[in-house]
Amino acid sequence: MSPPPDDRLEWLHAAVNAVSKLDSDDHELRDARCPKCNASAFVNAADLYYESAGRLEDDPNIPNEVRTGGMTDRQIVASLRPPRRRTALWPAALVALPLAVGAFFVYRRFGQGIGEFAFVADFLVTLTVFMTWLRRYSDQYYDRRKRWRSLHVCSRCGQLVA
């Protein structure tokens, strides 16, 4: 006779399964047709990109063989690359430079006490701008990545379908 199942263990197992499915990007096209050629065979763009990039990495001098969607590996890698992260350093630098010049002017004109306050204010404003743009670029990156992972390519004509 087996011991009764532990409710806590079952709850933990269910919780782990639920968490693992939160970020699942299972985007299959069922009963979909290509708007261009009316075909029903699609390939996930991310999978196609990684396969082509792997083939090019293994043999950079690979012949220009036509693959899925009538594209070569080089065309697939060039047109279906994943989104890239952007840096928040440029917007912060564009704000920090004029503020630093202003803080230096205040330091020279009004002395050390007020000048140090101006530099601290410059730092805090620059840090706020940096963190705001960092959050904005991060949100945009994850939105673009989610769209890229749900993108499909028609196997026959190469039409992109979301």
Q: Residue range 12-16: average pLDDT?
A: 69
Per-residue pLDDT band for 22 (boundaries 50, 70, 90) equals low
The CB density around residue 38, as the number of other CB atoms within 10 Å, is 10
The CB density around residue 113, as the number of other CB atoms within 10 Å, is 9
In angstroms, rounded to a whole number, what is the distance separating the alpha carbons of residues 114 and 36?
Answer: 67
Which of the pair, 30 or 152, is modelled with greater confidence? 152
Per-residue pLDDT band for 92 (boundaries 50, 70, 90) equals very high
Is residue 20 over pLDDT 80?
A: no
Per-residue pLDDT band for 5 (boundaries 50, 70, 90) equals low
Is residue 110 over pLDDT 90?
A: yes
pLDDT at 56: 86
Is residue 147 over pLDDT 80?
A: yes
Is residue 37 over pLDDT 50?
A: yes
Phi, psi of 71 (to 5 degrees): -115, 150
Q: Which of 20-24, 35-39, 48-52, 135-139 has the highest mean pLDDT?
A: 135-139
Phi, psi of 58 (to 5 degrees): -65, -40
Share of the chain above pLDDT 70, in %: 81
Is residue 63 over pLDDT 80?
A: no
Phi-psi region of 95 (alpha: psi -120 to 50; beta: other; left: phi over 0): alpha
pLDDT at 126: 97
Share of the chain above pLDDT 90, in %: 41
